[in-house]
Amino acid sequence: MNFDLTEEHIAVRDAARDFANTELLPGVIERDQKQQFPAEQIKKMGALGFMGMMTDPKYNGGGMDTVSYVLAMEEISKIDASASVCMSVNNSLVCWGLEKYGTEEQKQKYLTSLSTGEKIGAFCLSEPEAGSDATSQRTTAEDKGDHYILNGTKNWITNGNSASVYLVIAQTNPEKGHKGINALIVEKDTPGFVVGKKEDKLGIRGSDTHSIMFTDVKVPKENRIGEDGFGFKFAMSTLNGGRIGIAAQALGIASGAYELALKYSKERKAFGVEIAKHQAIQFKLADMATKIEAARLLCMQAALLKDQKKDFGKYSAMAKLYASQTAMEVTVEAVQVHGGYGYVKEYHVERLMRDAKITQIYEGTSEIQKIVISRELLK
């Protein structure tokens, strides 16, 4: 595989890096402390094309490849993982899912505004008793002929209060198991739609995470994605691509922490010399850099396979598994390199350490990734 970046790739990466440093870095610590959603920054990301990067230009998207998306996700995540998860959900789960599986009418009605960031999307799969076990959907969509009646609760929904368009996975025919599940497009202002409390999280505290409740919500039949019973397949296929985005997020968190640790090690002195000259610190930096490079190659491999329309599911799971593990290991070491300063908010690394943990949990835990990988290996 050729991992050389094109001029377009470099331009996208540099644009994302510049935006992250000029627009996201100022105020990122305060947003984390106040659990403040970066609404203005997300609007600017939409205007720059970061909210619909892979969407076809005929639907107002950027028409870029997945490699470009990985590069941008890494740069945004180095600075603000709360902004990057909003970007990831909108790109990987909502826009990509609608473009690949939606009808032309659905694309014209929803995708054209989602891809510009004018509207934000949310993906509603997890429930109080259906996280890793996505087949156990308790949310129901009762078929009423020309519409569905939606009832239930969804948990841990990214963009929960900020979104306008929600892709909701619900059970229509329980006797059919996962083949009785449907995916529905639900608008926020629909009667019976209620946004629950905002979750007080360990990390990505600027991200807008809520539970969503549906009470007799009427959803037109034309808002179903795909044929009757396609919902579970839709969710699994969409999550395969979503894992590339989260892997890139984890990669960005790790590389952001590493860059801070490297810079600090050249400035901080101990025993008369910069701590970077001590072998104990050098070995930490060497391990961090090696793991990051390996994670980056896994992300790029998954992205290239997706762009080549080849089977990428195993590789996206590998990328997410390894990159998220790397994010945790590297951020912990970055705090250690900073010593006492690493425990202080103004040095950023403690926030990156807190942000890293979620990458091992959402869009499929690390344990689920191992199940996905092992199933592919044993076919």
Task: Give the residue numbers annotated as catalytic, written as ranges.
Answer: 363
CA distances from 193 to 90, 118, 120 (A): 20, 21, 17
Phi, psi at 49, each rounded to 5°: 95, 10
Residue 251 CA to residue 246 CA, distance in Å, equals 8
Number of H helices, E strands in the chain: 13, 9
Query: Cα angle at 13 between 31 and 58, to 5 degrees?
Result: 95
Closest CA to 57 of 115, 106, 117: 115
Residue 197 CA to residue 342 CA, distance in Å, equals 31
Map tokens 């600075």 to a residue: 79
Residue 361 CA to residue 103 CA, distance in Å, equals 32
The pair of structure tokens assigned to 218 is 């009427």
Map tokens 């050098």 to a residue: 282
Cβ atoms 170, 137 nearer than 8 A:
yes
Closest CA to 97 of 238, 222, 219: 238
Closest CA to 120 of 166, 158, 59, 163: 163
147-158 and 209-220: which strand pairing? antiparallel
